[in-house]
Chain A
Amino acid sequence: MEPGNPRWKPGEVALRLEGVRKSYGARRVLAGISLEARGGEVVAVVGPNGSGKSTLVRIVAGLLRPSRGEVALTVAGGAASDAAARRARVGYASPDLALYPELTGRENLEFFATVAGKRLSTEEAERRLAAVGLAGRGNDPVSEYSSGMRQRLRLAFARGGGEAPLLLLDEPSLALDERGVALVGALVDEQRARGGLTLLATNDPRETALGDRSIVLGS
């Protein structure tokens, strides 16, 4: 995976979380998380199972509303405070995210690019698949993919064309072999080289090591 030229200058991408809380009824999942991070950084979100790592990532992605607190993503001076604006600016992969099993890998990438208002040629889709180690498998239905291949496809979905200023990866090495784990490292390095920001929710020491710093969520 080639890092390419930096897309964002230092300081152009910034994420700020202030007192983010999330409760489901009486059960509090997140108790006032605050964070400031800038483009080029990789922040690992660590903590035991059930500590709210995935919930935090979903809140940052704009997929879940916090019970309290604020999330603000700034890209080149433009603020994306509301959830819809953040959704359009993030690349996201998580174990809960599924792609259409009856469509091929290439059809999935083309479909999601089109509904996001972008045009994706067949060649570009093949290039994106090749970048995650799925060269030659783009015309196979996702239902025929192994769990590791599905995870690679999720990474291709999250990476897109490398245009997302904020990359959110929730357990990105799940079901991946050693080459897959190296691929995650390359993806994170590529994002860093572009001046983008990465948030990694993980319990895997190999992934935690990719972070410049960590925030630890409570037990």
Chain B
Amino acid sequence: MSWVREAFAVFEKEVRSEWRTRVALSSVALFAVGALTLIGLALYIGQGPTGPQTAAALIWVLLFFTAATGLGRAYVIEEERGTALALRLTARGTTVWAGKFAANALLLLLLALMATPALLSLLKVKTANPALLACVLMLGCVGIAAVFTMTSALVAQATAKGGLLAALSFPMLVPLLVAAVHGTNAALGVGNAAGAFAAGLGDVQVLASYAVIAITASLMLIDFVWNEG
């Protein structure tokens, strides 16, 4: 119980700090609104129909790049501000990671919750199976948040943080993104709910497995990354 309480304290601190400073929130919101506006303008100019494949790809392009913009700061900001020293002295590496991961996942899930309906409405794409779509989005966001939180810890003490973050995260996220795009396409594109579920079930399994592996591996490795001593 102590571990959970400590991890929750980190999560609570992350949310409170973010609410007061709005550093990640503003960059994530700016990127998401900018991307949605550009997509809307392109559709307005093009006037062409948009299929579920394009919609699925655009949703994950939006979520991936927004995550790269906002979530990579989790550990970097601790090093830049000098608060990492106090954290290292007092907290366990695993509780810090878990709290930061939970806060990142929450931010990305909130973004997905707001941006996906807006994007689907702009593209005029209907959802065949909303439950499947919600499941794919949730598991995909959890996996992305886990990878970006871990890579943020890896690059926090490097000099070229921005470039390294994307370079390290993208190859790790390719399997997740393939399953996420495929699963989203199934939830949007297959005619009825049952057909969509059958088409997307395998992707949900891949996404769930990916999330479990990413979280477990991060918790096992974070002490080696976080504590220099």
Q: Which of A106-134 contact B (CB under 8 A)?
A: 107, 111-117
The residue on B at minimum CB distance from A82 is B229
Q: Among the listed stretches B68-76, B83-91, B155-163, which one makes contact with chain A, having 4 or more residues with CB under 8 Å of it? A: B83-91
Are A64 and B229 closer than 8 Å at their CB atoms? yes
Taking CB atoms, residues of chain B closer than 8 Å to A64 are 228-229
Q: Does B206 contact A (CB under 8 A)?
A: no
Q: Which of A176-199 contact B (CB under 8 A)?
A: none
Q: Which of B50-95 contact A (CB under 8 A)?
A: 81-83, 85-92, 95
Q: Does A101 contact B (CB under 8 A)?
A: yes
Q: Which of A67-104 contact B (CB under 8 A)?
A: 83-84, 86-87, 90, 92, 94, 96-103
- Evaluate whether A97 and B86 lie within 8 angstroms (CB atoms) in the complex, with A115-B10, A115-B95 already known: yes
Taking CB atoms, residues of chain A closer than 8 Å to B16 are 102-103, 107
- Evaluate whether A87 and B89 lie within 8 angstroms (CB atoms) in the complex, with A62-B229, A100-B13 already known: yes
Are B5 and A87 closer than 8 Å at their CB atoms? no
Taking CB atoms, residues of chain A closer than 8 Å to B89 are 61, 63, 87, 90, 92
Q: Report how many A-B pairs have Cβ atoms within 8 Å.
A: 76
Are B85 and A115 closer than 8 Å at their CB atoms? no
The residue on A at minimum CB distance from B229 is A83
Proximity bits, A50-61, B CB within 8 Å = 1, else 0 = 000000000101
B111 to chain A, nearest CB (A): 22
A142 to chain B, nearest CB (A): 10
Taking CB atoms, residues of chain B closer than 8 Å to A84 are 227, 229
The residue on A at minimum CB distance from B95 is A115
Taken together as a complex, chains A and B put the C-alpha atoms of A127 and B118 apart, in Å, by: 51
Instruction: Give chain B's interface residue range (CB within 8 Å of chain A).
Output: 20 to 34
Are B10 and A97 closer than 8 Å at their CB atoms? no
- Evaluate whether A63 and B88 lie within 8 angstroms (CB atoms) in the complex, with A114-B5, A114-B9, A115-B10 already known: yes
A97 interface neighbour in B21, B85, B92, Cβ under 8 Å: B85
Number of interface residues of A (CB under 8 A): 31
Taking CB atoms, residues of chain A closer than 8 Å to B10 are 115
Taken together as a complex, chains A and B put the C-alpha atoms of A86 and B229 apart, in Å, by: 10
- Evaluate whether A116 and B228 lie within 8 angstroms (CB atoms) in the complex, with A103-B13, A103-B17 already known: no
Are B83 and A115 closer than 8 Å at their CB atoms? no
The residue on A at minimum CB distance from B81 is A98
A204 to chain B, nearest CB (A): 21
Taken together as a complex, chains A and B put the C-alpha atoms of A83 and B13 apart, in Å, by: 25
Taking CB atoms, residues of chain B closer than 8 Å to A94 are 85
Are A96 and B85 closer than 8 Å at their CB atoms? yes
Are A112 and B86 closer than 8 Å at their CB atoms? yes
- Evaluate whether A96 and B20 lie within 8 angstroms (CB atoms) in the complex, with A63-B89, A103-B13, A115-B9 already known: no
Are A111 and B21 closer than 8 Å at their CB atoms? no
Q: Does B2 contact A (CB under 8 A)?
A: yes
Taken together as a complex, chains A and B put the C-alpha atoms of A84 and B90 apart, in Å, by: 10
Are A111 and B13 closer than 8 Å at their CB atoms? yes
Q: Which of B7-62 contact A (CB under 8 A)?
A: 9-10, 13, 16-17, 20-21
Taking CB atoms, residues of chain A closer than 8 Å to B88 are 63, 87
Taken together as a complex, chains A and B put the C-alpha atoms of A100 and B229 apart, in Å, by: 23
- Evaluate whether A116 and B90 lie within 8 angstroms (CB atoms) in the complex, with A64-B228, A103-B13 already known: yes
Taken together as a complex, chains A and B put the C-alpha atoms of A92 and B228 apart, in Å, by: 17
Q: Which of B97-151 contact A (CB under 8 A)?
A: none
Are B95 and A83 closer than 8 Å at their CB atoms? no
Proximity bits, B189-204, A CB within 8 Å = 1, else 0 = 0000000000000000
A175 to chain B, nearest CB (A): 15
Taken together as a complex, chains A and B put the C-alpha atoms of A96 and B2 apart, in Å, by: 29
Are B229 and A98 closer than 8 Å at their CB atoms? no
B3 to chain A, nearest CB (A): 9
Taken together as a complex, chains A and B put the C-alpha atoms of A96 and B13 apart, in Å, by: 21
Taken together as a complex, chains A and B put the C-alpha atoms of A216 and B90 apart, in Å, by: 29
Binding site for A on B (CB under 8 A): 2, 5-6, 9-10, 13, 16-17, 20-21, 81-83, 85-92, 95-96, 227-229
Q: List 10 A-B contacts (CB under 8 A).
A: A63-B229, A97-B85, A98-B82, A98-B85, A102-B16, A102-B20, A112-B90, A114-B5, A115-B6, A116-B6
